[in-house]
Chain A
Amino acid sequence: MKVIKNGVHPHRGMLTLLIILGILGVVGLASGLLFESSILKGQPIAQNPPVGTTGVFTPAHSSVSLAVRHFFGWRPAAVQPIAFNHKPHLEQAQMECLYCHAGALTGPRATIPGVNSCMTCHNTIAKDKPAVQQIAEYFNRGEEIPWQRVYGWNDEAHLRFNHAPHLAASVSCGKCHGDVGSMADAKRIIDHSMNFCVTCHKEKKASIDCVTCHF
């Protein structure tokens, strides 16, 4: 049993917090009911069939956990439908990043190659490998392989990254993506935090103005 010392409750901090939160909650509930909050009533204020915006308050995220994850920039690791291995492509086949991710040179998106690109080589090369056979199956069904992006940001970051000026400034692919060529399974090994980008921008005397990237 806790001893009350000097007339002060040992858990006063926690209790104060709980009381304040409780009052806020009650006030919120009451004013919501009083002022016809749509969430509590469960129906839209707008009477007409909604055209344009829904007229119903829709949070930007469908759940609190999603909002928290997006706020911290947590994204699940990519799980690929086919066990694609960069290593043999770059080491044995002597390919370069831009062979498949050609968009990086001229535009904002590096792009992930379509199944047609894979088949240009793999309709003859390594046809015995199970992974290559899986590629052929997708191709024969007329379907693209549903690759999952390894790097990227959530919409809420409002980031409009453009590869082209980075390549024009001779930033190597590995600087931001790590040595993908040596990976059997491409993983996100570099955290694209804002700090990561701004540090390099400061070094290279590139713009660190907010609106250069966020628009």
Chain B
Amino acid sequence: MPHKWGMAVDLDRCTGCEACVVACHSENNIPTVGETEAARGRAMHWIRIERYWEGEFPEVQVKFRPVLCQQCDEAPCEPVCPTYASSHSEDGLNSQIYNRCIGTRYCANACGYNVRFFNFFTPSWDKPLHLQLNPDVSVREGGVMEKCTFCIQRINAGKVSAGIEQRPLLDGEIQPACVQSCTANALVFGDLADPDSTVSKLSKSPRGTKLLEELGTKPKVTYLQRGSWDDSQKR
């Protein structure tokens, strides 16, 4: 049975530490664009922490929300790509195929979550920073879109290992870089097609919501709402 990869983000656990943001850069060869390009809005953070302020001083509160590609089942970025570079994989992921991409950026335009990033320039790494690059992941050249892949390299490596050892994948065996590094264990990744997986159970939690659900994108990331002090929620 094909997998259906999904994620759950527990907003009550997320502390806004941004370990996930740096872990993602480290794992996925994301270029550092530098001060000038960052000022032009071209910094590339495949996962970012959004913060929402509520109230006015002194009754003020902040809410954090990690936002990454939602791997939508009805992804608005897919039908608009003229070369089928943004396509749906058999495991339910929205895959970005770099060698097909011709850089129209229509997919980024269509994405309501603002999670797609364009390589305006061919990235360079001041030596020897290039030695850190992950050999299991492509280095994207200029003119190519990129975004969170749920660490497809880790998913594929996990499937290969399980295949060679002729055993099924275990729940929690594959962890994208962000999930692995989350200090408060707020991020959970797994197979939504497996009803016993942690992520499947969390996706049905009464605290669960989806981001911009009203757009009809069918995102595969479930956000678990922040609790209030009177809660006695079951996980």
Question: A-side interface residues toward B, CB under 8 Å?
Answer: 46-48, 50-60, 108, 155-158, 160, 162, 164-165, 168, 207, 209-212, 214-215
**B124: chain A residues within 8 A (beta carbon):** 52-54, 58
A62 CB, nearest partner CB in chain B, Å: 11
> Is B139's CB under 8 angstroms from A155's CB?
yes
B16 contacts the other chain (CB 8 A): no
> Is A55's CB under 8 angstroms from B34's CB?
yes
Main SS of chain B's interface residues? loop
> Is B121's CB under 8 angstroms from A212's CB?
no
A54 to B89, CA, bound (A): 34
Q: In chain A, what residue has the closest Cβ to B31?
A: A53
**B132: chain A residues within 8 A (beta carbon):** none
A166 CB, nearest partner CB in chain B, Å: 10
B231 contacts the other chain (CB 8 A): no
**B152: chain A residues within 8 A (beta carbon):** 211, 215
A211 to B160, CA, bound (A): 14
- B51-59, B95-103, B207-215 - interface stretch: B95-103
Q: Mark B20-51, 1 if CB is under 8 A from A, else 0.
A: 00000000000111111100000000000000
> Is B136's CB under 8 angstroms from A160's CB?
yes
> Is B143's CB under 8 angstroms from A211's CB?
no
Q: In chain B, what residue has the closest Cβ to A106?
A: B164
> Is B142's CB under 8 angstroms from A57's CB?
yes
Q: Which of B31, B36, B37, B149 contacts A215 (CB 8 A)?
A: B149
Contacting residues of chain B (135-193) with chain A, CB-CB under 8 angstroms? 136-139, 141-143, 149, 152-153, 156, 160, 163-164
Q: Which of A47, A58, A168 contacts B142 (CB 8 A)?
A: A58
**B142: chain A residues within 8 A (beta carbon):** 57-60
**B149: chain A residues within 8 A (beta carbon):** 211, 215
Q: Mark B76-98, 1 if CB is under 8 A from A, else 0.
A: 00000000000101110101011
B109 contacts the other chain (CB 8 A): no
A38 CB, nearest partner CB in chain B, Å: 10
Q: Which of B34, B90, B123 contacts A51 (CB 8 A)?
A: B34
> Is A53's CB under 8 angstroms from B143's CB?
no
B68 CB, nearest partner CB in chain A, Å: 16
- The residue in A46, A52, A209 that gathers the most chain B C-beta atoms within 10 A of its C-beta is A52
**A58: chain B residues within 8 A (beta carbon):** 121-122, 124, 142
Some 19 contacts from A to B, beta carbons below 8 A apart, are: A51-B36, A52-B123, A53-B124, A54-B122, A54-B124, A56-B121, A60-B122, A156-B141, A160-B137, A160-B153, A168-B163, A207-B90, A210-B87, A210-B89, A210-B95, A211-B152, A214-B98, A215-B95, A215-B156
A47 to B39, CA, bound (A): 13
Q: In chain B, what residue has the closest Cβ to A162?
A: B160
B41 CB, nearest partner CB in chain A, Å: 14
> Is B93's CB under 8 angstroms from A211's CB?
yes
A157 to B139, CA, bound (A): 11
> Is B138's CB under 8 angstroms from A52's CB?
no
Known A-B contacts A210-B97, A215-B137; A50 and B89 likewise in contact (beta carbons under 8 Å): no
